[in-house]
Amino acid sequence: MKNIKPNQTITFILSVIFCFSAHHGFAQGKFKKYLFLGSTSLCSGMLDGTIESINYHYCNGFKPRFQKANDQFWNPALSWTNKYKDGNCNLGPKFLGSEDIFVCTTDAYHMLRTTKRGIDAFSIAYYLNQAHNEKISNRKKWENVVKDFLFVTAVRCVGFSLTYSLIFNPQNRPVF
């Protein structure tokens, strides 16, 4: 397993996803459903990979890719202070809601997490609406749930790997 490169893993996962979707999704005429769920899952995974990258590889993974990124907003070691008056937690919140409801406006970490959660919630709502309208047996619905779960999870893993293991990996040479 140590000799497998990240891009080989992603190629394998993409192949599995393509074969799965060709057999289960596209062959049944559900292209739009899988395109939507696949796109939102890929975005969610990429956001999660970026979140983890800025947390664990900011200086040697994220910053080399985005050299002009504002450290005060993007670097978690600094950005957490944006919630407080003059960057001092002893002085209290910078503005009403800066520690909770509007924390997504204070730094990249919280902004990315809020965006990811919004995408995930929207995807779930879409999926539930689509599933509710299907006129099939309960057994078939559960089979579809399991298949769709595997599809969404695989696509999300690809998104995560694209950002965390390829784009922001400190051991990789620049991809772009």
User: What residue numbers bound the domain in which 153 lies?
Assistant: 31-167
Q: Give the total number of structural domains in the chain.
A: 1
Q: Is the separation of the CB atoms in 54 and 62 below 8 Å?
A: yes
Question: Is pLDDT above 50 for 147?
Answer: yes
Q: Would you state the pLDDT for residue 144?
A: 85
Q: Establish if 12 belongs to a structural domain.
A: no
Per DSSP, 173 falls in state: P
Amino acid at 44: S
Question: Is pLDDT above 60 for 19?
Answer: no
Q: Establish if 14 belongs to a structural domain.
A: no
Q: Establish if 173 belongs to a structural domain.
A: no
Q: Establish if 45 belongs to a structural domain.
A: yes
Q: Establish if 35 belongs to a structural domain.
A: yes
Q: Establish if 26 belongs to a structural domain.
A: no
Q: Establish if 2 belongs to a structural domain.
A: no
* Tens-place pLDDT, residues 70-125: 999 999 999 999 999 999 999 999 999 999 999 999 999 999 999 999 999 999 99
Q: Is 176 helix (H, G, I), strand (E, B) or coil?
A: coil
pLDDT band at 2 (very low <50, low <70, confident <90, very high): very low
Give the largest CA-CA distance in the chain.
Answer: 60
Q: Establish if 25 belongs to a structural domain.
A: no
Compute the distance between CA of residue 121 and CA of residue 98 in angstroms, rounded to an integer. 23
Q: Is 54 helix (H, G, I), strand (E, B) or coil?
A: helix
- % of residues, the chain, pLDDT over 70: 81
* Alpha-helical runs (H) found in 57-137: 71-74, 76-79, 108-133
Across 50-166, the runs of DSSP E, i.e. the strands, are: none
